[in-house]
Amino acid sequence: MTSPMHHASDSALVEQMMAGDENALSALYDRYSGMLFAMLVRILKDTSAAEEVLQDLFLQLWRNAARFDASRGSLPAWLVVIGRNRAISRLRGRERHEVQEDETFSMEAVAGPGNIEDEAWRDQMRERLKKAMADLPGEQREAVELAYFEGMTQTEIAARTKTPLGTVKSRVRAAMQSLKQVFDDGRTRQSGRS
C-alpha cells in the first residue's frame, strides 16, 4: 500500500522537504534510490561504497532542497549527475571541488531526459537501452562505458584501448548517435501516450 505522498510530483515533494517534512524525502528515496544505486554499484563495484554515496546524496538533497528549482531542471537527472560525479571522484580519488563545480552547473541546467520521473517509462527505457547497448559494436560500447562508468577522458580511453584519439572520438560519437535514436523513440512514445 502506498501513501498519497508516493503519488505526489517531484516538485511538490521538494516543496514539502523545504518545509521540513521528512516523509517527502522518504518518498523521493523510494522513487529513485533503486535507479541511482544500480548506477553507483556499476561505477564503484562495491556495494558498501555505493550505499555510502547513496546516503550522502539524499542527505545533500535534504539539506539543499531549497536550491532546487523544478522549473529549471529534473530532480532525477540532477541526482544522476551528482551521484555519478561523486562515485567517479571516489573511484579515482579526484578532488572534491571538481565535483562541487559540476553540482552547481547541473542543479540549474540538467533537464529531464524524456519522462525519467515516471517509473514505467524508466523500465521501458532500461530495456530499450539494454538492447541498444548490446547491439553496439564492442569497441563503441567499451568507449562509452569507460567514459560513463569509469570516468575516463578520451585521452585515457585511447591509452587504455591503445587506439588513436580520433578513433575514440568517432566511436563515442557513433555510440551516442545510436543511443540518441533510443532516446528520441522513447520521447515520441511518451508524447503519443500523453
Binding mask 62-81 for another protein (x = CB under 8 A): xxxxxx------x-xx--xx
What is the footprint of another protein within residues 46-65 (CB under 8 A)?
47, 50-51, 54-55, 58-59, 62-65
Is 172 within 8 Å of 137 (Cβ atoms)? no
What is the footprint of another protein within residues 78-107 (CB under 8 A)?
80-81, 83-84, 88, 106
Q: Name 190's Cβ contacts closer than 8 Å, sequence gap at least 6.
A: 114, 115, 118, 121
Residue-wise DSSP of 171-194: HHHHHHHHHHHHHHHHHHHHHHH-
Task: Indicate the SS3 state at residue 72.
Answer: coil
In the structure grid, which three cell numbers stand for residue 176, read together?
551516442
Q: Alpha-carbon distance 115 to 113, whole Å? A: 6
Is 33 within 8 Å of 58 (Cβ atoms)? yes
Binding mask 135-174 for another protein (x = CB under 8 A): ---------x--xxx-xxxxx-x-----------xx-xx-
Q: Alpha-carbon distance 184 to 91, whole Å? A: 32
Residue with Cβ nearer another protein (13 or 50): 50
The yes or no reply on residue 176 touching another protein (CB under 8 A) is yes
The yes or no reply on residue 130 touching another protein (CB under 8 A) is yes
Site size toward another protein (CB under 8 A) is 70
Q: Alpha-carbon distance 125 to 70, whole Å? A: 22
* Interface residue list for another protein (CB under 8 A): 15, 18-20, 22, 25-26, 29, 33-39, 41-42, 47, 50-51, 54-55, 58-59, 62-67, 74, 76-77, 80-81, 83-84, 88, 106, 109-114, 116, 122, 125-126, 129-130, 133, 144, 147-149, 151-155, 157, 169-170, 172-173, 176, 179-180, 183
